[in-house]
Amino acid sequence: MEGQNRKNIRPGLQVDVVLKKDQRTGKRTRGIVKEILTNSSHHPHGIKVRLESGEVGRVQEIIRS
């Protein structure tokens, strides 16, 4: 899972995240990173980000287009 390391994530990237409300189901939401919220360099459940839509979730996958 490449979303576990902060160095891989930067504003403007398209990512799939799991929102807090979807943690039980694992449903993913796609969006553009606006802001990185996790301060540590690594997080086992994914780096927490705010999307441009305002939603907050943990990065599961970085989308390469």
Residue 2: what pLDDT?
Answer: 81
Two tokens, residue 32: 């553009």
pLDDT tens across 4-62, in order?
Answer: 999 999 999 999 999 999 999 999 999 999 999 999 999 999 999 999 999 999 999 99
Cβ atoms 14, 65 nearer than 8 A? yes
Residues 6+ apart with CB under 8 A from 2: 8, 61, 62
Residue 64: what pLDDT?
Answer: 79
Rounded distance between C-alpha atoms, residue 65 and residue 56, angstroms: 22
Q: What is the CATH number of the domain that holds 39?
A: 2.30.30
Two tokens, residue 13: 């990237």
Domain extent at residue 14? 2-62
Q: In the chain, how many domains are there?
A: 1
Distance of CA 65 to the CA centre of its chain: 16
